[in-house]
Structure 1
Amino acid sequence: MIPYRKGTSFVIKKKGRGGKRHLRRLQHDSKTPGWLWLPGLQKWHYQYEKLGLAPWHWHHRQPPRIVRQLAAQHLLTTFFAWQPELAALNEPVYSAVWLVEAEFAHSSQVAVGIRECVADYQNRHGDPIDNAPSLPTEYQQLPGANRLSWTTHSWQVLHEDCDYPNGWPHYLLRLPHYDYHWQGRTFLVVQTGWVWVGQLPEQGTSAQPGTVL
């Protein structure tokens, strides 16, 4: 994490104040990689870098385009800065950029996993969907984006039936959905949009950092 950045947990109480200051910070962050904490990766087998979008940290709403581009550029900068250290681990590594459509500020990230987390991250979003929207042009234009191989997956949110005693609301049922049962509990899995996963492409039979080695 960038030392002075407060991350995404604090609240801006007055809407619209400090917008230019936060935009200048994003411009700086877009060129500054996050910190890869290798001891934490070795201990917990995963590491990630999310976005500190402050007043734009919304659920189910898109930040302005320039904010999304600067934030996505920070993730790309972080992804490539981490590759030499990940390659030096000499073990299988999952490394990818996730750009989430509906939950951009909350869930977009650079995700890294080793050991059992490799398979977990590989299966996190399910299989790529061939007829889904490709990576939006606003992200394709960013430096480094064309060096990655991008796949599109459905972004799904779980809702538990105990939170809806009167039945699933119509606004959820209007979206693509299915029931999921686990340990006697019932969930509604709802697709709210797409997630684009970017990884370094494989070259021949040898995998590069950003894929599974």
Structure 2
Amino acid sequence: MIAFLTPISTSAPHIYLSALPFAPSESILWKTACSPFPKVIKVSEGRMTEWPKPLKGHLRAIIGLVYSPDSRKLVSCSFDKTVRIWDAGTGMPVGEPLKGHIGGATSVACIAYSPDGRRFISGSDDGTVRIWDAGTRMPVGKPLTGHTGGVRRVAWSPNGQSIVSCSGSFDPTIRIRDAATGAPVGELLRGHLKAITSVAYSPNSRYIVSGSQDQTIRFWDAQQISSNGEYFM
């Protein structure tokens, strides 16, 4: 569609003629308009036959979504305490729902993929983080504990070496872990006064940034975390 940006912006009929070939072949739009305009371009590969349908499988509200790095899979988490994997091309579920957060969990709140796409992590209101094998859909090791409050957000470092999680109002802390072993790296990071609502890595994996209900953003040096878990800025 980007290739037709100029004609679409300068000529109203091009809005329809340039977009028409991308309409699914079984859609009412295509069947109605294809006859009057037989000379439009043809999509030779990858054209849909029908408009995408909503993906249904979770029993309660969906909280988090993430694409796999190769864009072939979609992973979702929900208030129904499960994680689901979907084929991003067909919209079909891959296997059964993943049930790893059960004890004390009211929801699976967040998910994140590893950079290589082989694993993903999930965080839950039960205060744990789970690592999953994306191929086998099996949990890797035991639940990772350490937070006393529910896990709100998780992130995987771009270099694939570490994962970070943050917790909510009863335990406004951040925990860094070794992605290979799940072992904690340093102490819990403390600095926010209220629930931590977001956490992310810098592209070079050196810094972590967190946001909180205390209306502040904190920066952390992931390579030089002090033993008492104090923030560096």
Q: Same fold (TM over 0.5)?
A: no
Indicate the structure whose relative CO is greater, using CA pairs within 8 Å and at least 6 residues apart. 1
Question: Please, what TM-score do these two structures have when normalized by structure 2?
Answer: 0.20
Normalised TM-score (structure 1) = 0.22
Higher helix share: 1
Give 1 or 2: higher strand fraction.
Answer: 2
